[in-house]
Amino acid sequence: MGTYIIKLILPLLLGFLLSTSTAHAERFEFNASNTKNKNLESVRFINGITIKSVRKDRNSPHKLIYLDASVKSISGPEIIENDYVTIESAYPSAQSAQVSVISSQCGGSMCGFSTYYLAYLINGALYVHEISTDNAKKIKITGNYNRGNITNAVATNVTEPQKNQYGDTILGTRILINKKGFVKSPFKRKYLPLVEVHPEDYFSNKVLRENLAKQVGFENFKVLRSYMQVASNSKLVDGQYIVISGMLPHSGADQSGVVVIDGVNKKYYALWVDIDSNKIDKGATAQWTEHIARIVSDAFFHSDYFLSFENDNFSIRKLKQ
């Protein structure tokens, strides 16, 4: 009899524990085409950090800044700056937020799109990640937050390029990987440990480094690795590409490098530059495209030079002083 009672009570007790553990979970939803969303001057998160969109004067761009960050617990862009930076919405409220949606847009007549970001909390730390550059303005974000932590966030109606001769776009889906960012659905999960980490995490990975090392040659790979000793963490771009860049110590970025990892198609691209010798080297496991070249050029951070790409080759030009 006692055994029977235990067998009867145990499922009921388990069901009760499961129901109470999810009782505090709430669902949030944001839709860029929904005019009911209110633009907010500032949002205060429950961990004490406040985000605010400010500008110096009418002729200056907007900047998203972080306030009250006595504990530096922010991961993402140090600053979001554009003609217009708008805090679109906050959940559950602007005074005690756990999730916030931010948009960034240029102010010209040709600026028909916005870049969207999601700011969210995980274990008290604030993360800010780009969702997409979207020109359909139908982007929709749904997810759950439970006691300050976001789970199962998905962005739909994200504008994605379609590989055909017309340059058509399709509406795709991106999934939030907590602490990493929004990735396209086919993104290979084995590359996730390379997001938001120092480049050395890639260069010391005996499996994931092999394809690029063989393609560029091991001596060149060692040079590339040395050119990226001083670096910030890698970034996720377009929900598909992991971009890492750095420079040789004490070189003023005259010797620097960039690596792009395509996490959907498992392709690798690298470029390393020695300005003192006027030398540019590159290698890849696939054919270079204009899009990859633009990502590499954007990641090249020398303050006096910029990279251009034409006829499958890079050239370096000095900025006008």
Pick the last residue of a domain from 158, 185, 212.
Answer: 185
Do 44 and 160 fall into the same domain? Answer: yes
Domain count across the chain: 2
Q: What is the Cα–Cα distance from 319 to 321, expressed in whole angstroms?
A: 6
Domain residue limits at 35: 24-185
Asked whether 297 and 306 are in contact (CB, 8 A), the reply is yes
Do 69 and 156 fall into the same domain? Answer: yes
Whether this model's pTM surpasses 0.75: yes
308, part of any domain: yes
195, part of any domain: no
Cα(first)–Cα(last) distance of the chain, in Å? Answer: 89
Reference 290, options 312, 270, 272; nearest CA is 312
Do 54 and 163 fall into the same domain? Answer: yes
pLDDT in tens, the chain (321 residues): 555 444 444 444 434 434 444 445 789 999 988 867 778 889 999 888 888 888 888 778 788 787 765 555 667 776 788 888 889 999 999 999 999 999 888 877 667 788 899 999 888 888 999 998 887 788 999 999 887 788 899 999 998 877 667 777 888 899 999 989 999 989 999 999 999 999 999 999 999 999 999 999 999 999 999 999 999 899 999 999 999 999 989 887 888 999 999 999 999 999 999 988 889 999 999 999 999 999 999 988 777 888 888 888 888 888 766
12, part of any domain: no
Do 73 and 171 fall into the same domain? Answer: yes
In 3-state terms, what secondary structure has residue 60?
Answer: coil
222, part of any domain: yes
Do 78 and 135 fall into the same domain? Answer: yes
| pLDDT the model gives residue 307 | 84
The CATH number for 285's domain is 3.40.1420
Alpha-carbon distance values, 133 to 22, 58, 171, 184 (Å)? 33, 25, 12, 13
